Amino acid sequence: MAIAHQAEQTQNQLTNQNYRLVRDPLPRINQPSQISLAILQRLWWHTKGYGTVLGVLLLVGGSLVFLNLHWLTRQLLRTDLAESSVEDAGSTS
């Protein structure tokens, strides 16, 4: 009998807790500091997913800048080498 009574009390407690969660799923936040902290935590949680995307974009951008610099230096060296070889050929004749 005592076990059945204890099980019934436990069931009632769980029902009350579930009712409170369904009725008010978010705890009440009364202080402004708690509100600002909750907003910052939520913002931080949402920005985590964009960190990977931002990292890939930075990597792609850096690679394109490096590729552009590499291409420009090759173009400059190619024209410098071509001009010097033309000058060398003209002075030997």
Task: Name the more confident of 27 and 61.
Answer: 61
pLDDT at 9: 76
Structure token pair of residue 9: 């009390």
Mean pLDDT, all residues of the chain: 78
Give this prediction's pTM.
Answer: 0.42
Work out the pLDDT band at 88, boundaries 50, 70, 90: low
Work out the pLDDT band at 57, boundaries 50, 70, 90: very high
Task: Tell me how far apart the alpha carbons of residues 49 and 8 are, in angstroms, rounded to a whole number.
Answer: 45
Q: How many CA atoms lie within 13 A of 52 on its CB side?
A: 3
Task: Tell me how far apart the alpha carbons of residues 2 and 10 are, in angstroms, rounded to a whole number.
Answer: 12
Place of tokens 């997913």: 49
